[in-house]
Amino acid sequence: MSYINPLHAPVSAANRSQFSSLGGAVNSTPTPGQFLSPFRRRLPQAPYTPSSKWRNATGRLNQLHSAISFDYLGYSKQGVPMRELSTRGTHALASMIHGANDPVLAHTGLVRITLRILWPGYEQVDWARSIEIATQGPMTRAQLGAAVAMNFARFVEKTRTEPARSSEWHLGPSGIRFEHLILVSLSNVFEDVWQADVAVDLR
């Protein structure tokens, strides 16, 4: 099992012993799309499409903005726990997260984005919230991550009274809780609509 310490960068492979009593029995190098932790799995989500056929046919689908990733320093495509993004200050996040102070949406010219959450089993919950991204200068990666995490915390709170149609992805005290959520990236799926790539880690 690989433990990620958010306050310290990992030891580089060049400074690690290559000896293992397990030898070639296991492969610790993740393949693309795979997480280092065996407890972490990606949340399956359908990409947002507008209910209006006209808007769906005429909306901007090409030239979408690049995805914005969230990772601890020294890691790639593993994500950052939302509880860290929602509780740590900007100074602490800057020492933990790759590119925490990068103005991630400055090049888009957008003033705000719409975050959509489409959680499997809770399709009846319509979650679309606006995030202002140019209120006091360009929004940084750490600020954006905190805003997304705050939305997911509120979404989890809202769904406490909602029936779940999926036992595997059930939210609540006896299921998946906010502290289990990992923000991997944020993707532009339609016009100003963005969706989070989320992993669930039940450790």
Which range is least confidently modeled, 28-37, 80-89, 130-139, 143-152? 28-37
**99 located within any domain:** yes
Q: Is the pLDDT of residue 77 over 90?
A: yes
145-168 tens-digit pLDDT: 999 999 999 999 999 889 999 889
**Residue 37: CB partners within 8 Å, gap ≥ 6?**
1, 2, 4, 78, 201, 203
pTM for the full predicted model:
0.79
**13 located within any domain:** no
Q: 153 is in which domain, residue-wise?
A: 37-201
Query: How far is the CA of 163 from the CAs of 55, 77, 154, in angstroms?
Result: 30, 32, 16
**171 located within any domain:** yes
**31 located within any domain:** no
**139 located within any domain:** yes
Number of domains in the chain: 1
**CA distance from start to end of the chain:** 11
**185 located within any domain:** yes
Q: Half-sphere exposure of residue 75, counting CA atoms within 13 Å on the CB side?
A: 26
**Residue 117: CB partners within 8 Å, gap ≥ 6?**
125, 127, 151, 152, 155, 195, 196
16-42 tens-digit pLDDT: 443 333 333 333 344 445 899 999 999
